[in-house]
Amino acid sequence: MASGREIKTKIKSTQNMRKVTRALEMVSASKIRKAQDLMKASRPYARAMRKVIAHIAQANTDFSHPFLVQRENVARVAFVVVSTDRGLCGGLNSNLFRRLLPQIVEWQDKGVQVDVVAIGQKAVSFFRRLKGVNLIGSASHLGEKPKLEQLVGVIKVVLDAYAADKLDRVFLAYNDFVNTMTQKPTISALLPLPVVAAEMIATEAEPSSTPSYPVAGLKLEQKHDWDYIYEPDAATVLEHVLGRYIESVVYQGVLENLASEHAARMVAMKSASDNANKVIGELTLSYNKARQAAITQEISEIVGGAAAV
């Protein structure tokens, strides 16, 4: 059995650790409400943009924008991966990476090269160590109120590569906020738009169990051939609208991931605090037993010494 002094040192260190976990839990609890408000405020716009873009993908227009062309031979794909900048949020990032890696391996097995745009320090660190994946862009330290201007650079890298026929598919991976206890790793298509429309139709046929899934509940109905009337012209309108679509969906993914981060950290730190309380209780019991054993031994030595005299 460890000595009383060693046990007291362990109790003190565990108490200090509990102070840290409690502080982090309270900080995340205070920030999660603001993060949820930001996320919920932008969610209707992002969902509406997905619906409009899916309808545009189904229209029979004479103008062929690169984002509307689905290439048969896929040689290169890109994943925009949204993660956190800091740790101590349970398995939030690892669950997303675990969901993403099989898809990356599946594309690589087909001979397709995989590029990654990492948003968040954890994704940057992870994909820098991962062999066989090209990290073509990164953004980190977005803060508690991410701005779209912070994401424009990495988004433009993807859009320019796709417009130049250097990419054939683009996907967005992030943690979708369902509720405080549940964050769902989500991978959805960004480009080309026919793939986005097909994803929405598949979701309509088999609705997701989580109502916050990006395309859940969006109905696409096409009963006849049709097209929009563009003013001033299709090229100008689509170039602007499709750019805003990518920006809005990626920005929404960042906000969803931010709310998920605070929720996961709050739950993880509460669990850590509870475990610290349990450890402190067990160590206190061990300390009391060691102290009682030492007292008993001292009494026995005194009695034995008195008897020897």
Domain ranges across the chain: 4-27+266-304, 35-264
Q: pLDDT category, 226, cuts 50, 70, 90? A: low
3-state secondary structure of 27: helix
pTM above 0.95, yes or no: no
Q: Give the model's pLDDT for residue 8.
A: 86
Closest CA to 162 of 70, 100, 60: 70
Residue reference for tokens 């976990």: 21
Of the residues 68, 89, 246, 263, only one is catalytic, namely: 89
Q: pLDDT category, 303, cuts 50, 70, 90? A: confident
Q: Taking the domain 35-264, which CATH number applies?
A: 3.40.1380.10
Number of CB atoms found within 10 A of residue 222's CB = 12
Instruction: Name the β-bridge partners of 169.
Output: 77
4-27+266-304 and 35-264 have identical folds: no
Task: Count Cβ atoms within 10 A of the Cβ of residue 265 and give its class: 0-12 exposed, 13-18 middle, 19 or more buried.
Answer: buried
- Start-end of H helices in the chain: 4-58, 92-109, 121-129, 152-163, 193-205, 234-308
pLDDT at residue 173 tops 60: yes
Q: Give the model's pLDDT for residue 174.
A: 94
**What's phi and psi for 217, nearest 5 deg?**
80, 0
Q: What is the mean pLDDT of residues 198-204?
A: 67
Least confident of 136-140, 220-224, 286-290: 220-224
Q: What is the mean pLDDT of residues 75-92?
A: 90
Q: Please report the DSSP string for 199-230 in residue order.
A: HHHHHHHS--SSTTSTTTT------S---PPP
Q: Which amino acid is at 296?
A: T
Tell me, yes or no, if 89 is annotated catalytic: yes
What number of residues does the chain have?
Answer: 309
CB-based contact 170:136 (threshold 8 Å): no
Number of CB atoms found within 10 A of residue 204's CB = 15
Mean pLDDT of the chain: 83
CATH architecture of 4-27+266-304: Orthogonal Bundle (1.10)
Instruction: Name the β-bridge partners of 173.
Output: 81, 187
The per-residue pLDDT for range 88-103, each reduced to its tens digit, is 888 899 999 999 999 9
- Residues 6 or more apart whose Cβ sits within 8 Å of residue 155: 80, 246, 247, 250
Vertex 117, ends 111 and 120: CA angle to 5°? 140
Q: pLDDT category, 57, cuts 50, 70, 90? A: confident
Q: What is the mean pLDDT of residues 188-206?
A: 74
Residue reference for tokens 């433009």: 156
Phi/psi region, residue 132 (left: phi>0; alpha: psi -120 to 50; beta: rest), is left
Instruction: Name the β-bridge partners of 79.
Output: 116, 171
Q: Give the model's pLDDT for residue 1.
A: 54
